[in-house]
Amino acid sequence: MQSVVIILSAGMGTRMQSDLPKVLHNIACEPLLIHSMRTAAAMDCQKTIIVAGHGSEEVEKVAINFNPNAEIVIQSEQLGTAHAVNQARGKLLDFNGEVFILYGDTPFIKPNTLKNMSKLRENGSNIVVLGFNTDEQNSYGRLIITEDGSLEEIVEFKDATDDQKKINYCNSGVICTDTNLLFDLVSEIENKNANNEFYLTDIIKLAKNRNLKCATVECSESEAMGINSRVELAHAESYFQEEKRTEMMLNGVTLTDPNTVWFSSDTVIGRDTIIEQNVIFGPETTVESHALIKSFSHIEGAHISKGAIVGPFARLRPGAELANNSKVGNFCEVKESQIGEGAKVNHLSYIGDAKIGDNVNIGAGTITCNYDGVSKHLTEIGDRAFIGSNTSLVAPIQLGSDTMTASGSVITSNIPDKALGIARSKQENKLNFAVKFFERLKAIKLINTKDK
């Protein structure tokens, strides 16, 4: 069956107290909107339509970057959810199939939940609404269920009676129905309510007036979580991280102190990898099996191969590629570089825009000087090279296989295979200079003290 997803993302998000559109605030390093779009993508829908309003240009840019085929429509005035849905009508004039209504600020709806809603509709329900039970006081609409279990009505909280407000079964806002039926019902909705808005929820009452069958699927309260403030955003982040940590451990990843490890939504970790405490994974990071990520490391946009060791206190920036059994040690930074199999980047080194061969040893304090103030340049180091501590490699430069550099060298020219590169001034010892120098300094200090 053909299907389409409409994601409502036009709200200003006043309670966020932000210039940024609400749906562009991040959970797990990814905008709220993208979480909803991932759910849409998992449904293999023919169309994804984003209804944007406040900050529409920013919203469109983010949406198209994630899915170039996404279609954007604008709700210039926020007159309610039915009015928002109606903005997508023109995009679906020739479409005949199933439609899901999602929300850009409700990021945790699962594809399987939508599939369950679709199955219920296939079994005879004309409209299926996603609900959740809660004991918490909230302002969600209430789902009115008949004795036979069908959905009779959705009552918005502001319009609910005191008895209706005591109902624990709440409306998530997510709906599954037929596109033609949806827009047919939407055209009948009026704004005679406490907010003078066109409520999408009114389609249930209108459908019941036609003797159509309405039903609900229940999900957890956490899955239906909506984000309206920074406090709720932080709560959602904590929920995501807890779920992700559990998923990782169930898949064979060891987390030494789970609560201190933070993942991005797209982080991939192989089984039998060990992650110590206080590690942060930014976007686009993959770690293969049997790796060891030591404490206080920050990894983003990197690929770490089998058996590699990172940290402690290491930073891997986008483009870092670590081959099997390589190592990036204490207080090292790697960016846009390939570290060969078995290679070691030791303490306090910076490797940027480089290709490091297999079994290379990078001594402590080594720097690839890759930026001349205008452009970035490449450093290439051949297999089995030994780079002495505190070496500066001024790119562009090539060091052959089995080469060495003397500690403290500033290497500005290529080094051929098997050669030693030395580039430092000759040491000169001045006898008794140190004692005389300090005596002179002390005398000057004494004079200055007396003058005061």
Cβ atoms within 10 Å, residue 273: 22
List of domains in the chain: 3-219 (3.90.550.10), 248-421 (2.160.10.10)
Quote the Cα angle for 127-130-134, to 5°.
145
- pLDDT one-digit tens code per residue, 250-305: 999 999 999 999 999 999 999 999 999 999 999 999 999 999 999 999 999 999 99
The pair phi, psi for residue 380, each rounded to 5°, is -120, 130
Of all helices (H) and strands (E), which one includes residue 298?
strand 298-299
Q: Is the pLDDT of residue 452 over 80?
A: no
SS3 content of the chain, % helix, strand, coil (to 5): 25, 30, 45
The pair phi, psi for residue 233, each rounded to 5°, is -65, -45
Contact 113, 225 (CB under 8 A): no
Is cis: bond before 68, omega within 30 of 0?
no
Is cis: bond before 283, omega within 30 of 0?
no
Reference 8, options 98, 88, 103; nearest CA is 103
DSSP string, 171-232: EEEEEEEEHHHHHHHHTT----STT----TTHHHHHHHHTT--EEEEEE-TTTT----SHHH
Reference 24, options 57, 50, 62, 53; nearest CA is 62
Q: Is the pLDDT of residue 13 over 80?
A: yes
Residues designated as active site:
347
Span 326-331, mean pLDDT?
97
CA 242 to chain centre: 15
Contact 257, 276 (CB under 8 A): yes
Q: pLDDT at position 193, please? A: 81
- pLDDT one-digit tens code per residue, 55-90: 999 999 999 999 999 999 999 988 999 999 999 999
What would you measure as the largest C-alpha separation in the chain, in angstroms? Answer: 105
Contact 359, 343 (CB under 8 A): yes
Contact 242, 262 (CB under 8 A): no
